[in-house]
Amino acid sequence: MGSEVGWKVGGKQGEGIDSTGEIYAIALHRMGYYVFTYRHFMSLIKGGHTNYKIRAADHVLRHHGDDVHVLVAFDQTTIDVNWPELVDGGIVIYDSSSFQAKKPDDRDVHLLGVPLTEIAKEAGNPIMKNMVAIGVSAAINELPPEEFRPVVQDKFGRKGQQVVEANMTALSRGYAYFQERSRVRFPLPAKPDLQGKDHLYASGNQATGFGALAGGCRLLAAYPITPATEIMYWVLQHFPKYGGVVLQAEDEIAAINMAIGANFSGVRAMTSTSGPGFSLMMEALGLAGMSETPVVIVDVQRSGPSTGLPTKTEQSDLNEAVYGTHGEIPRIVLTPRTVEECFLLTAEAFNLADHYQCPVIVLSDLYLGMSYQSIDGFPVQAVRYDRGKLLSEEELAQLAKSGYQRYDASVADGISPRALPGQKHGRYVALGNEHNGTGLEVEDQETRVNQMRKRQRKLAGFQHFTGVSVEGPDNAPYALVGFGSTWGGLEEARAALAEAGLTVKHIHFSRVWPFPEAEFHAAMDGVRLALVTELNATGQLKQLIRQQAGYHDRLHSCLKFNGDPISLREIVDSAYQTFPMGVFN
């Protein structure tokens, strides 16, 4: 077998599909493999089709993969829906205690009925059919049942040793049943050498929460919303140990205003949300920009517009992040490409917010946020602290002699130093009205223009380690271009294209605003055609590039907006259609 296996379990929502996938994924991870998971679910609690995909390999994975080798089906719908992903020669394990499976067509796929519920019943409880399925999968993937014990222990230990043993029995019986009856096997590759590697298992949302804590955030105000709520869960679990506060706000408007209030007081604070909540935050985004109060907003994008597809992924909030709110404010928009960057860029967002005294938006999405994956550690050494221009009481006392001006428009870089409530000699009012240097509401034209220029000046010539990354040969005539979570898929597609003889580079944005213009021009050097791949219907990144950098005749779009993450095949096919094979090479 090859160097990887695609496994999927599916059934009705509420049947324990998620926990089956989770147990299998964590077990594979702890055995030393690299996994990447993707949850397909619906916005309801019971019923509807749900599935959990695991791709496992001996190297780091950045995409859930196109292929399924092993499908565990608890109903016929699972077979029908996932049939196209099954490879020729793949195997479907279905619960023959509850239905008789039918092939949608006559492709060469093994359909094998296993009485999962029956075996579970014999082992003590029909609810353990999921553990029987894991046992069967272990047999197909040639994994010894005992290797699952630590995960089973973790999962069921709280319920007593008896429950742990019953589940292990169910698992072993499923294993034995398959061993005796079938020869179909999809063995995993040899375990990779993990020496010197910090083999971790995390989702983008967890990494975002971790990044916030590491970055010094001590107040999260948020309203529950899929797919961002897991950030809140992680933070709730860990913040109290560090004196941090989590506020469940009454709505997203309250959430962002709370985050602004805490930042005004000098505490690093953020809010996390998804599209609908982000829309509600637009007015307050302007307040942060106008009052020059730092704030960090994480938008885990989902399919819009309006309520859209609440449990499906998309990258369609780019315009809103870059342009949203009435009037004009300075802002920074970061687009992490990986779980590791969810950590590092969220931590860094707090430095940028403090340094530039403006809102910083971290644009993640459901795919990156909710997919658990194995990584080689978090870049904790790269975390730094820059509180920006904060004044001490001594400095304020000095400044008080000539009159401290919180919004002094004469500063060259536009960033005027902050005082914090409680400090002597620093009293001022932060406000959303246009104001003069001391923070008084004024409406005269000269002050207005000076203050607008001051705020806009803050990001002039912005330089930062985020921006544009380039993979592949410098002189490639073709480029795949994307932002944020599509990095893994595009990188893998680039490698596949290179193997097929198509020289392509991969240009990717980890920051879209301030637009990294110079870096993008450098990356585009020699590129004759670029395929801008993004998960939205109108090509928002392509529009932004055209507006900021040009290349009107060279940019083509690969768009997807049906709710599913983009597949490797879709990128590769789109590349073949866009890039003339052998013409420019």
* x-or-dash string of contact with other proteins, 283-322, rule CB under 8 A: xx--x---x-------------------------------
Establish if 389 lies at the interface with other proteins (CB under 8 A).
no
Q: Which is nearer to other proteins, 112 or 236 (CB)?
A: 236
Q: Which helix (H) or strand (E) holds 577?
A: helix 568-578
Establish if 421 lies at the interface with other proteins (CB under 8 A).
yes
| Residue list 11-30, contact with other proteins (CB under 8 A) | 30
Size of the site for other proteins (CB under 8 A): 68
Q: Which helix (H) or strand (E) holds 254?
A: helix 252-264
* x-or-dash string of contact with other proteins, 241-260, rule CB under 8 A: xxxxx-x-xxx-xxx-xxxx
- For residue 262, the minimal CB distance to other proteins (Å) is 4
Establish if 239 lies at the interface with other proteins (CB under 8 A).
yes
One-letter amino acid of 396? L
Residue count of the chain: 585
Q: Which is nearer to other proteins, 219 or 529 (CB)?
A: 219
Establish if 444 lies at the interface with other proteins (CB under 8 A).
no
Q: Which of 110, 238, 389, 546 binds other proteins (CB under 8 A)?
A: 238
How far is 276 from 253, CA to CA, in rounded Å? 11
Establish if 219 lies at the interface with other proteins (CB under 8 A).
yes
Q: Which residues pair with 363 in a beta bridge?
A: 299
Establish if 388 lies at the interface with other proteins (CB under 8 A).
no
Helix runs in 265-338, H state only: 275-280, 282-291, 318-323
Q: Which is nearer to other proteins, 46 or 401 (CB)?
A: 401
| Residue list 500-539, contact with other proteins (CB under 8 A) | none
Q: Which is nearer to other proteins, 235 or 409 (CB)?
A: 235
Establish if 557 lies at the interface with other proteins (CB under 8 A).
no
Q: Which of 196, 326, 412, 422 binds other proteins (CB under 8 A)?
A: 422
How far is 440 from 430, CA to CA, in rounded Å? 9
Q: Which stretch binds other proteins (CB under 8 A): 34-42, 118-126, 131-139, 195-203?
A: 195-203
Establish if 548 lies at the interface with other proteins (CB under 8 A).
no
How far is 124 from 121, CA to CA, in rounded Å? 5
Q: Which is nearer to other proteins, 426 or 484 (CB)?
A: 426
Vertex 7, ends 59 and 135: CA angle to 5°? 110
Establish if 461 lies at the interface with other proteins (CB under 8 A).
no
Nearest to 470 by CA among 422, 435, 505: 505
- For residue 362, the minimal CB distance to other proteins (Å) is 18
Establish if 329 lies at the interface with other proteins (CB under 8 A).
no
- For residue 56, the minimal CB distance to other proteins (Å) is 17
Nearest to 414 by CA among 377, 383, 458: 458
Q: Which is nearer to other proteins, 250 or 525 (CB)?
A: 250
Establish if 159 lies at the interface with other proteins (CB under 8 A).
no
* x-or-dash string of contact with other proteins, 351-380, rule CB under 8 A: --------------------------xx-x
Q: In what order do the strands lie in the sheet with 555-559?
A: 468-471, 504-509, 478-483, 529-534, 555-559
Establish if 328 lies at the interface with other proteins (CB under 8 A).
no
Nearest to 337 by CA among 382, 367, 374, 304: 367
Q: Which of 265, 410, 456, 547 binds other proteins (CB under 8 A)?
A: 265
- Rounded to whole angstroms, what are the CA distances from 526 to 476, 521, 531? 7, 10, 14
- For residue 260, the minimal CB distance to other proteins (Å) is 6
How far is 98 from 12, CA to CA, in rounded Å? 13
How far is 302 from 366, CA to CA, in rounded Å? 6
Establish if 240 lies at the interface with other proteins (CB under 8 A).
yes
Q: Which of 432, 526, 563, 580 binds other proteins (CB under 8 A)?
A: 432
* x-or-dash string of contact with other proteins, 30-69, rule CB under 8 A: x---------------------------------------
- For residue 269, the minimal CB distance to other proteins (Å) is 7
| Beta carbons within 10 angstroms of residue 241's beta carbon | 8
How far is 331 from 361, CA to CA, in rounded Å? 8
Vertex 208, ends 52 and 362: CA angle to 5°? 110
Establish if 199 lies at the interface with other proteins (CB under 8 A).
yes
- Rounded to whole angstroms, what are the CA distances from 257 to 220, 287, 301, 332, 386? 11, 9, 20, 18, 23
How far is 151 from 163, CA to CA, in rounded Å? 13
| CB proximity list for 268: less than 8 A, separation 6 or greater | 215, 216, 217, 218, 219, 262, 294, 296, 350, 353, 354
* CA dihedral over 221, 222, 223, 224, signed as positive or negative: negative
Establish if 418 lies at the interface with other proteins (CB under 8 A).
no
- For residue 285, the minimal CB distance to other proteins (Å) is 11
569, 66 Cβ separation under 8 angstroms: yes
Establish if 197 lies at the interface with other proteins (CB under 8 A).
no
**Structure tokens, 73:** 């089906």
- For residue 553, the minimal CB distance to other proteins (Å) is 44
- For residue 564, the minimal CB distance to other proteins (Å) is 27
| Phi–psi pair at 425, nearest 5 degrees | 65, 10
How far is 442 from 376, CA to CA, in rounded Å? 54
User: CA 310 from chain center: how many Å?
Assistant: 15
Q: Which of 210, 278, 404, 515 binds other proteins (CB under 8 A)?
A: 210
| Residue list 267-286, contact with other proteins (CB under 8 A) | 267-269, 283-284
Binding site for other proteins (CB under 8 A): 30, 198-202, 206, 210, 213-214, 216, 218-219, 221, 238-245, 247, 249-251, 253-255, 257-269, 283-284, 287, 291, 377-378, 380, 383, 385, 420-433, 439-441
